[in-house]
Amino acid sequence: MKRLHLVCNSHLDPVWMWDFDEGIAAALSTFRTAAEFCDEYDYIFCHNEALLYEYIREYDPSLFEKIKRLVKAGKWHIMGGWYLQPDCHLPSGESFVRQIRSGIRYFEKHFGVRPTTAINFDSFGHSRGLVQILKKCGYDSYLICRPMPQYLELPADQFNWVGYDGSKIKVCRIADDFMYDTKSSKAKEFIPKKAECWKSYETGIALWGVGNHGGNPSRKDLKDVNDLIAETKEYEILHSTPEKFFADVNPDVDYSGQLSHFLIGCYTSLTKIKQKHIELETALYMTEKLCAAAELNGKNVWDSDAFSDAERALLTMEFHDSLSGTMVETAEKSVINHADHALYLLKELKQKAFFSLVNDDVKAGDGVYPIFVFNPSAYDRDTVVESEILVLDPIISDTVCYEVTVRHNGQIISNQVIKQESNINYDRRKRIAFRAKLPALSAARFDVTFKEVPVTGKPEVAEGDIVFEDSCKRVVISKKTGLIESFRVDGNEYVTGGAFLPVMYDDTPDSWGWDIDKIGSNPADADLSSDGIFEGIENVHIIEDGDILTEAESFFKAGDSTVRISYKMYKDLTYIDVSLDVLWNERDKALKLKIPSNEGGFIGQTAYGTDEFERDGRENVAQRFVCLKRGNGKSLSVFNNCLYGCSADAENLYLTLIRGIGYCTHPIEDRKLIADDRYIPYAEQGKHTFSFRMSVNEPCENDRMALEFCEKPYSVNAFPDGKGYKVSKIEVSSKEITLSSLYKEDGGFVFRLFNNNETACVTKLRVGEYEADLRFLGYEIKTVLFKNGEFSEMLSMI
């Protein structure tokens, strides 16, 4: 090796075994000492994460100004440039863009610099979708530490990482045992060991400094390292930066895989955090679309400050020890509080934009209750809508009730009254399900009227299994098992043998899941139950049945926990919705859903891409869908808004719901994982809800259908007082192209579009009378600006 680049850093988790206040204190002390040492010694201090610099600017403005001077002098290097070091599997592709955009803009604004090497030292693996994102955000290189060599064999530790779209970026994995630090006062001992890892390379890199809770190299370290530089004759050692290192590196090895299958427990640990993240991620991007649509129709509703606050909350909860579920309980509460505050802000924004759109509609006649439904999809959408209305006068009677009629553009459409959220036992609050054709990115109106009619008896329920059959599918739910025993679409069988069976496993309290590649052992199937909270209710039965849908529910007992499963089967649609209410009361256990299916390649959604997994039982990470791709060109797809962990073997698909872990529980040698001399609270205790959609469809539709499942239409019973209005159509013509985000910026509107298929595609993007033809390569992301009636493709995502 001819050259060793020393990159001095101080790894600092803003939250982990501590809450944010302690993280702030650590950042302040770390940056103060680093700034002091920069004045005293010949070295370069490197640090990333805009969040930490925000702390310094807020709580020690004079230190912030000093750091700005040190950056300008070349003594302090802004590296990485992201908002923080997030989990690099679980955020959506759009969320990764926001992590980068927020950080880069912060550092450009306050320091006038823009890093070209991304860094995520401590993230537990990295999604292949990052390659294209990094490339289109101006990066040429990426510096990582995990997965370590013993967990993932790579063709080289300096390589070109190839993305789904064929783009490439230089990557270096730090392969030494000490990764990003050298321990206090031991730098001179550790750096030669780090150098040894690069003996077969022309150029190597050594990360040195102190972590996991901030701190700095000591004065002894700084003196020792400069002595080491002067003493070493075999190769050149220099104080450096990630950018200078990569300028010396030109890998000749390509790698096109994931950097994953490491710390697999993190794909499921702390379900509450993961579900809150999905909720906030969905709410942010859907609310941006609604507000942008309102703005494009002349409404002044965009609130940049509120959106910025909500986005920062999302980015903060994506920190790798937060979203992975490896932090303490107090930190969990803080992260959820951040998210709930953001959700409240977004709800206010959504309401303001929604009512600005519908208030101009025509005033309703007497006895008419309008329901307005906003479609967040960039195409016309045929779906089932559920909405609630409060009728003016209640009926308290066993012989008379309200009959509902729903009209759209004067035409009567089918509807069905289903159980409302309230339990007040009179006929006044109505929950109505109806099949609706919704125009793209706009609000449609449905007029509801009521009249009193005699109460009719409940329809007779046939004996035996529950069989649902319509023009496209047939579903059989067994009265003996409470499970889907058959799912046929267009005459083809896709599921047999008891789908959505809850299965309990023995598990470890280890939050990370060190040194395992599968979740759980000793599987035990849940049993049908009529005890406890289910006592007195038939354990498999129909609860709704009408012109729009049939819903059945089943009750199960698993260990000391209970599971209620609902199956919603919609008339003449090729999918069914399945939801679970789990009352979890377990330690050292895991719960999965089993879906029997012995056919098809196992595919999962990743950040701006898809990946094919082995059907070998290993735990995998996927986002909003997994599917089994069949030989007939169709896929059996399962969409979700609630989880990331999944696996498959030769016979079954598994969805990992929940783990009974300890908070921040980490193996240390052979010591006990959990103290046994007192009660230790375990994570996850209490009620959890999981929602899925099982569908048969073309694989090219999966990305769109996953977004549909998460971004449900927003409906409200509202009474306008206007003269009517015409909405400008905003749409994407091809359903193979997903509109990931749409937001207002600098007087224009930014569209982020993605082709989640390997084949090229052409689409039209329309805004009112304006349109543009867009050509996509396989797995290509495009960012398009619409401003002053013109479309232009942006070369950078940020």
Asked if residues 23 and 54 have their Cβ atoms less than 8 Å apart, the reply is no
At residue 727, the pLDDT reads: 87
At residue 212, the pLDDT reads: 78
Cα angle at 761 between 381 and 772, to 5 degrees? 75
Asked if residues 187 and 225 have their Cβ atoms less than 8 Å apart, the reply is yes
> How does 377-394 read in b/e, with b if 16+ C-beta sit within 10 Å?
bbbbbebbbbbbbebeee
The neighbouring-strand residues paired with 444 are 373
Distance CA 553, CA 538 (A): 9
Phi and psi at 16, nearest 5°, equal -170, -95
| Pairing mode of beta strands 549-558, 527-528 | antiparallel
Distances 213 to 9, 17, 209, 365, 410 between C-alpha atoms, Å: 12, 10, 11, 65, 65
Distance CA 547, CA 436 (A): 13
Asked if residues 538 and 571 have their Cβ atoms less than 8 Å apart, the reply is no
Asked if the peptide bond before residue 250 counts as cis, ω within 30 degrees of 0, the response is no
At residue 462, the pLDDT reads: 76
Distances 230 to 41, 198, 226, 234 between C-alpha atoms, Å: 14, 20, 6, 11
Q: Is 113 exposed, middle or buried (0-12, 13-18, 19+ CB in 10 A)?
A: middle
Distances 397 to 401, 419, 424, 428, 458 between C-alpha atoms, Å: 7, 17, 13, 11, 16
Number of H helices, E strands in the chain: 13, 45
For 646: left if phi > 0, alpha if psi spans -120 to 50, otherwise beta; the answer is: beta
Mean pLDDT of the chain: 96
The neighbouring-strand residues paired with 47 are 78
Structure tokens at 474: 């047939």
Low-confidence ranges of the chain (pLDDT < 70): none
At residue 461, the pLDDT reads: 74
Distance CA 471, CA 31 (A): 66
Distance CA 608, CA 591 (A): 28
Q: Is 497 exposed, middle or buried (0-12, 13-18, 19+ CB in 10 A)?
A: middle
Distances 56 to 24, 69, 102, 506 between C-alpha atoms, Å: 8, 14, 17, 45
